[in-house]
Amino acid sequence: MADTKTPKKFRSQEWFDNPDNPGMTALYLERYLNYGLTREELQSGKPLIGIAQTGSDLSPCNRHHLELAKRVREGIVAAGGIPFEFPCHPIQETGKRPTASLDRNLAYLSLVEVLYGYPLDGVVLTIGCDKTTPALLMAAATVNIPAIALSVGPMLNGWHKGKRTGSGTIVWESRQRLSAGEIDYNEFMEIVASSAPSVGYCNTMGTATTMNSLAEALGMQLPGAAAIPAPYRERGQIAYETGKRIVGMVHEDLKPSDIMTREAFENAIVVNSAIGGSTNAPIHLNAIARHLGIKLDNDDWQAIGHKVPLLVNLQPAGEFLGEDFCHAGGVPAVVMELMKAGLLPHPGAVTANGSPIGENCGTVENLNPEVIRTVSDPLKKDAGFINLKGNLFDSAIMKTSVISKEFRERYLSNPTDPDAFEGKAMVFDGPEDYHARIDDPALGIDEHTVLFMRGAGPVGYPGAAEVVNMQPPDYLIKRGVHSLPCIGDGRQSGTSGSPSILNASPEAAVGGGLALLRSGDRVRVDLKKGTADILISADELQSRRTALEAAGGYHYPAHQTPWQEIQRGMVDQLSEGMVLKPATKYQRVAQT
């Protein structure tokens, strides 16, 4: 019986070897010969493989992909394919204004056009820095040609005075010490610089390590490919293997929709809790799922992920960094520990190497149970997210496992009501407003204040800023108050360990409940019931809404670029993956 998955003809042959249309074929062909490719190569029926290159001088986290691509090419050629490397729109998490996530959908759109419009039979997605991973996976999902991801790998561990310094996390910690006068500006800069000792992405369990690990948990990378540090020789070796494997995937016609199934997403949600993954993960995975036509929402994240324990002892939740995670066994060892306890929902989900995840990971060893804990001896229980709702928003997530002892004692110690807290709202309209006013004693911020950040969602601060984890005023830090409850319609860096309630949807800018909140209102959050409300009457809420609408809605800053205006007109909310709404109509476009 013929294998129905073996294509008779690769799609690139429609461009380069189509005797039914010799004129067009000649036009396509001759231009691709001019740098030395031969007719034999382009007309031999070999698959043409794209390498979607995210590395550049503007993207230091992914820059090492410029080197790794050489090994990818060699792997592609060794397996009988022809490599075509091309640039992707750069996205650098910390360097792009107003926020890198503004560009996730732009990089997505442009990659869709490239994958659809050029003669590519498969693609290697070079992932790394936070938004590069979802942007590339979203595009692969929409176009649905065979695709495999390759992480650039984390940086080596950072060290300062004999202690590990982790990307991002060290900034949040040292910033507090600077405020408290314990270190000066120069020492602050020195400590932070020590956390970036080599090429690669952030070495903490921030959004980069999270998304690269989840790309592996989804099945889109070779087993073990996420955790290898960028400078290690194994990184170049897996780049070569990845190049070889994509050619096989094209011959087998193994497509993103075969790998990234609802089952694969459920596995990834469980893995996200076990690794202590970033609060950005639900945004990006919900987005990838939408581009595949798979239903996935924040209720799924709570139902599937909340009760899963934290196993991976990496900063910000724990103590170790990327190299330690790799030496302990990386994602396969985490999956194995979950499987041993029966917590991986779908061991049969197929992955890029053609085998089920359970087969890839079931027999690997956990080489350091201090770094990757077992389910019977976890770092924390219930490490996933809860999805809160109320008159403030329809959905906002919180990682309850990062609630500190100080926070718990101050806010969650009422014996008759241990899962709820009430406080007085202090509202900031965007990060600039926060920075300008937070230290003003006249605001009367004290330990019973709940800080609110609004105007920071996908429309308000175009792309949604990572600003919800707000540091208390300096005068409170000096009194030993290191964190106040924070709630907002923006995001928060994955390298921050704050227990914020964030990604609130709908955001203030589109008329969400946060737009009706006023400083001084009392608010109540009940973690057990999963509610967050302004404590005012329905009538008062309605009259505020009427007033807001009469004033033309919530005001946010003007567009600064054409893309900001375009995206603001069509972007969905964070709970819905912040996708471009019109783009979700297009599914599997390479098959149409």
Beta carbon of residue 575, minimum distance to ligand FES (angstroms, whole number): 24
Region from 26-34, 202-210, 410-418, 536-544 binding ligand FES, contact rule CB under 6 A: 202-210
Beta carbon of residue 321, minimum distance to ligand FES (angstroms, whole number): 13
Element (H, E) at 53: strand 48-53
Q: Which does 493 bind (CB under 5 to 8 A by kind): ligand FES, Mg ion, none?
A: Mg ion
The single residue listed with the structure tokens 């770094």 is 371
Region from 181-189, 199-207, 376-384, 530-538 binding ligand FES, contact rule CB under 6 A: 199-207
Among 85, 130, 300, 576, binds ligand FES (CB under 6 A): 130
Q: Which does 272 bind (CB under 5 to 8 A by kind): ligand FES, Mg ion, none?
A: none
Beta carbon of residue 431, minimum distance to Mg ion (angstroms, whole number): 14
CA 75 – CA 69 distance, rounded (Å): 10
Beta carbon of residue 169, minimum distance to Mg ion (angstroms, whole number): 12
Residue 436, class by beta-carbon neighbours within 10 Å (0-12 exposed, 13-18 middle, 19+ buried)?
A: exposed
How far CA 422 is from CA of 425, 450, 517, in Å, comes to 9, 8, 15
The single residue listed with the structure tokens 């740098």 is 35
CA 382 – CA 370 distance, rounded (Å): 19
Does 61 engage in binding with ligand FES (CB under 6 A)? Answer: yes
Distance of alpha carbon 542 from its chain centroid, rounded?
36
Total residues contacting Mg ion by CB under 5 A comes to 5
Q: Is 296 helix (H, G, I), strand (E, B) or coil?
A: coil
Q: Is the CB of 206 or the CB of 378 nearer to ligand FES? A: 206
Among 132, 272, 449, 493, binds Mg ion (CB under 5 A): 493
The single residue listed with the structure tokens 């000066």 is 184
Region from 124-132, 236-244, 296-304, 317-325 binding Mg ion, contact rule CB under 5 A: 124-132
Beta carbon of residue 207, minimum distance to Mg ion (angstroms, whole number): 5
Q: Is the CB of 92 or the CB of 142 nearer to Mg ion? A: 92
Does 398 engage in binding with ligand FES (CB under 6 A)? Answer: no
- Contact letters (x/-) for Mg ion, 177-216, by CB under 5 A? ------------------------------x---------
CA 217 – CA 266 distance, rounded (Å): 10
- Contact letters (x/-) for Mg ion, 44-63, by CB under 5 A? --------------------
- Contact letters (x/-) for ligand FES, 412-451, by CB under 6 A? ----------------------------------------
Beta carbon of residue 494, minimum distance to Mg ion (angstroms, whole number): 6
Does 133 engage in binding with Mg ion (CB under 5 A)? Answer: no
Q: Is 426 helix (H, G, I), strand (E, B) or coil?
A: strand
CA 351 – CA 224 distance, rounded (Å): 12
Q: Is the CB of 94 or the CB of 531 nearer to ligand FES? A: 94
Among 43, 94, 519, 531, binds ligand FES (CB under 6 A): 94
Tokens of 51: 């390498």
Q: Which does 129 bind (CB under 5 to 8 A by kind): Mg ion, ligand FES, none?
A: ligand FES
Does 126 engage in binding with Mg ion (CB under 5 A)? Answer: no
Does 129 engage in binding with ligand FES (CB under 6 A)? Answer: yes
Beta carbon of residue 316, minimum distance to ligand FES (angstroms, whole number): 13
How far CA 283 is from CA of 97, 112, 140, 491, in Å, comes to 20, 19, 17, 10
Region from 201-209, 361-369, 448-456, 535-543 binding ligand FES, contact rule CB under 6 A: 201-209
Does 274 engage in binding with ligand FES (CB under 6 A)? Answer: no
Q: Which does 238 bind (CB under 5 to 8 A by kind): ligand FES, Mg ion, none?
A: none
Amino acid letter at 16? F
Residue 175, class by beta-carbon neighbours within 10 Å (0-12 exposed, 13-18 middle, 19+ buried)?
A: middle
Beta carbon of residue 493, minimum distance to Mg ion (angstroms, whole number): 4
Tokens of 420: 């709820």
Beta strand residue intervals within 194-237, DSSP E: none
Q: Which does 467 bind (CB under 5 to 8 A by kind): Mg ion, ligand FES, none?
A: none
Phi-psi region of 406 (alpha: psi -120 to 50; beta: other; left: phi over 0): alpha
Does 202 engage in binding with ligand FES (CB under 6 A)? Answer: yes
- Sign of the CA dihedral with 275 first, then 276, 282, and 283 last: negative
Q: Is the CB of 128 or the CB of 499 nearer to ligand FES? A: 128
Q: Is the CB of 60 or the CB of 358 nearer to ligand FES? A: 60
Residue 221, class by beta-carbon neighbours within 10 Å (0-12 exposed, 13-18 middle, 19+ buried)?
A: buried
CA 423 – CA 411 distance, rounded (Å): 9
Tokens of 430: 């965007």
Instruction: Please say whether the beta carbons of 287 and 134 come within 8 A.
Output: yes
Tokens of 74: 């060699």
Amino acid letter at 203? N
Does 167 engage in binding with ligand FES (CB under 6 A)? Answer: yes
CA 43 – CA 23 distance, rounded (Å): 15
Instruction: Please say whether the beta carbons of 461 and 556 come within 8 A.
Output: yes
Length of the chain: 592
Among 85, 93, 173, 216, binds ligand FES (CB under 6 A): 93
Does 578 engage in binding with ligand FES (CB under 6 A)? Answer: no
Beta carbon of residue 195, minimum distance to ligand FES (angstroms, whole number): 10
Beta carbon of residue 498, minimum distance to ligand FES (angstroms, whole number): 17
Nearest alpha carbon to residue 200 among 226, 230, 227, 170 = 230
Total residues contacting ligand FES by CB under 6 A comes to 10
Q: Is the CB of 201 or the CB of 385 nearer to ligand FES? A: 201
Cβ neighbours for 242, distance < 8 A, ≥ 6 positions apart: 72, 75, 124, 148, 150, 221, 222, 225
Q: Is 122 helix (H, G, I), strand (E, B) or coil?
A: strand
User: Contact positions toward ligand FES, by CB under 6 A?
Assistant: 61, 93-94, 129-130, 167, 201-202, 206, 208
In the complex, which residues of this chain contact Mg ion (CB under 5 A)? 93, 130, 207, 466, 493
